A and B are shown apart, each in its own frame.
Chain A
Amino acid sequence: MEFMKYTFDVEKDDFVRAGEASSNIKRTLRELGIDSAIVRRIAIATYEAEMNIVIHSVGGQVELEIDPNSIKVTARDRGPGIPNIELAMQEGYSTASEKVREMGFGAGMGLPNMKKCTDRFTVESVYGEGTTITMEILLKAGD
């Protein structure tokens, strides 16, 4: 498998199209014949990151990179950023609005779940500039 890269735009507050990037990424990985348990882990983590861009940011992108050794997803947005990453990482912490909660989000489980689903997970955020989340699953021979 050679190196591949795909980029998907994610719009703020677009709850109709929200999830399309993750859906495309899931399909791409399945078509490459990646092990279904790994596809599922990446799909869940990507979807959580995509929904966070829709819900909490002004908009951004999700990027998929595949090479023979790993699958990497980067979720990048243009702001506002996370003021306190440690707090945001705590299970149950959420600033989601009532409207978003009524749609089934805002349990404060997304970031911890992204970490749980992936082998490598980083959050970088500058308040006023934006947030970048990287998530990687390492592939072994046969995956």
Chain B
Amino acid sequence: MIQNVNKLEMKYMVMKYTNGRAQTMKLCEIKDILKAEVLCGDEFLENEVSYAFGSDLMSDVLAYVKGRTILLTGLINSQVIRTAEMADLTAIVFVRGKRPENDIVNLAKQNNMILFTTKDSMYTASGKLFCNGLEGINLD
């Protein structure tokens, strides 16, 4: 059991510190991994992120997320876009096949964001990205 934990931790550390820093991931890779559909902003598919954060609590996003992070969420209201705007996040994945209404997509367009929707649940989508080397944010 202890051996297993160590192995897993090792694997995580190796993943995390390859090249001495967090791996970045292109948004087009994220699209492929999650078999996601782009709702707007496909001109940003070559951009990269360093971290992912999954939450349905907007105050947690505002309190903890920094830097080039992609947000995974099950919420599809305009406050998700506003929250991302304030926190300088430009990429959002809606999980469980959710789709925001057109005016919300338009608000995201105005803010130069890229929006995805994936059929995966929050857990599955997060797991797939993590396994492919995309880390969670550092909580301090």
Interface residues of A (CB under 8 A from B): 15-16, 18-19, 22-23, 26, 36, 40, 43-44, 46-48, 51, 103-110, 112-113, 116
Give B104's nearest chain A residue, CB to CB.
Answer: A16
Q: Which one, A103, A104, A113, contacts B63 given CB within 8 A?
A: A113
Contact A44 B57 (CB under 8 A): no
Q: Once bound together, how far apart are the Cα atoms of A21 and B82, in whole Å?
A: 11
Q: How far is the CA of A103 from the CA of B83 in the complex (A)?
A: 12
Q: Which residues of A contact B56 (CB under 8 A)?
A: 104
Q: Name the residue of chain B whose CB is nearest to the CB of A41.
A: B86
A-B contact pairs, 30 of them (CB 8 A): A15-B78, A18-B79, A18-B82, A19-B79, A19-B82, A26-B85, A43-B87, A44-B86, A47-B86, A48-B62, A103-B79, A104-B56, A104-B57, A104-B75, A104-B77, A104-B80, A104-B83, A105-B57, A106-B59, A107-B57, A107-B58, A107-B59, A107-B60, A109-B59, A109-B60, A109-B63, A110-B59, A112-B63, A113-B63, A116-B63
Contact indicator A40/B59 (Cβ below 8 Å): no
The reply to whether A40 and B60 form a contact with Cβ atoms under 8 Å apart is: no
CB <8 Å contact, B75 and A47:
no
Cβ contact within 8 Å between B85 and A44: no
Which residue in chain B gives the minimum CB-CB distance to A48?
B62
- Classify chain B: how many residues form its interface, as a range: 10 to 19
Which one of A26, A106, A110, A112 contacts B86 once the chains associate, using CB atoms below 8 Å? A26
Task: State in angstroms the CA–CA spacing of A100 and B101 once bound together.
Answer: 19
Interface residue ranges of B42-68 to A (CB < 8 Å): 56-60, 62-63
Bound state CA distance, A4 and B53, in angstroms? 36
Taking the nearest CB of chain A, how far is it from the CB of B95, in angstroms? 14
Chain A proximity of B102: nearest CB distance (Å): 13
Describe A's contact surface by its main secondary structure.
helix
- B77 to A: closest C-beta gap in Å: 6
**In whole angstroms, what is the CA distance A109 to B82 when docked?**
17
Residues of chain A contacted by B59 (CB below 8 angstroms): 48, 104-110, 113
Query: Is B88's CB within 8 Å of the partner chain A?
Result: yes
User: A36, B88: Cβ atoms under 8 Å?
Assistant: yes
Please tell me if the beta carbons of A22 and B86 are within 8 angstroms of each other in the complex. yes
List the 4 closest pairs (A to B, CB-CB), nearest first.
Answer: A19-B82, A109-B59, A104-B58, A107-B59
